[in-house]
Amino acid sequence: MQAFTTIPGKLAPLPAANIDTDVIMPKQFLKGIDRQGLDRGVFFDLRFLADGAPNPDFILNQPGWQNATFLLVGANFGCGSSREHAVWGLNQLGIRAIIGTSFAGIFDDNCQRNGVLTLSLSEADYQRLSVVAADAQRNTISVSLEQQTIQFADEVIHFTLSALKREMLIGGGSAVDWTLQYEADISQFEAQHFAQRPWLQRTREQP
């Protein structure tokens, strides 16, 4: 998982509400036994025409928003089935953060586990970014997890994250890596816990 500290990039708008994981990653791309090539599947039915050519009307195919690093999305983005492939594909496409007002819970968790930042902003801050995202001449922003800010032009938006999400994304490790930082504390807790409740220790050791 790539570490996320301060990252600049283009912001592309996808304002439709309730974009689900089937739209993000259609079912035909779930057949592989590895994670390779999932970037092609992202928004496939929107990005490509029936003959396989890029759809010129889709925002990520337009010159000012190609190779976007950030998405500004509508409410309840990522609803539907869990479909972790959707996040894998977004990551492979180069998307490092998804900014909106609300996200489906499972999708949000999948993003955190795979190094993609999700940010839920107030409606007022969302509208400020909407103006920026719609303008191909000024749609470059910078997102800092260290400062918890989004910078664009001469403006700054402040956001807050849970300590867990922030530490995991800045460190670039998995949930297991994050947990192992506290291995000594966990071992100490277990020793105290089972010393006070030895019958649980015996139960745990039974085959």
pLDDT tens profile 48-101: 999 999 999 999 999 999 999 999 999 999 999 999 999 999 999 999 999 999
Q: Please compute the mean of the pLDDT values over residues 115-122 and round it to a whole number.
A: 96
Q: Which helix (H) or strand (E) element contains residue 23? A: helix 21-24
Q: Please compute the mean of the pLDDT values over residues 22-26 and round it to a whole number.
A: 98
Q: What residues does each domain of the chain span?
A: 6-173, 174-207
Residues listed for the chain = 207
User: Which residue matches tokens 């509508």?
Assistant: 74
pTM (two decimals): 0.85
Q: Is 115 left (phi over 0), alpha (psi -120 to 50) or beta?
A: left
Q: Is the pLDDT of residue 21 over 90?
A: yes
Helix (H, G, I), strand (E, B) or coil at 128: helix
Q: Residue 184: which pLDDT band, with cuts at 50, 70 and 90?
A: confident
Q: Which CATH class is domain 6-173?
A: alpha beta
pLDDT in tens, 124-164: 999 999 999 999 999 999 999 999 999 998 899 999 998 88
Residue-level pLDDT at 126? 98
Q: Residue 167: which pLDDT band, with cuts at 50, 70 and 90?
A: confident
Instruction: Say which residues have a Cβ less than 8 Å from residue 84's Cβ, sequence separation at least 6.
Output: 110, 114
Q: Is the pLDDT of residue 116 over 90?
A: yes
User: Which residue matches tokens 């995202």?
Assistant: 133
Strands (E), the chain: 6-14, 70-73, 97-100, 117-120, 140-144, 149-152, 155-158
Q: Please compute the mean of the pLDDT values over residues 188-199 and round it to a whole number.
A: 85
* Alpha helices for 80-174 (secondary structure H): 85-92, 105-113, 123-133, 163-171
Residue-level pLDDT at 207? 52
Residue-level pLDDT at 199? 79
Residue-level pLDDT at 178? 67
Q: What's the CA gap between 165 and 162, in Å, rounded? A: 5
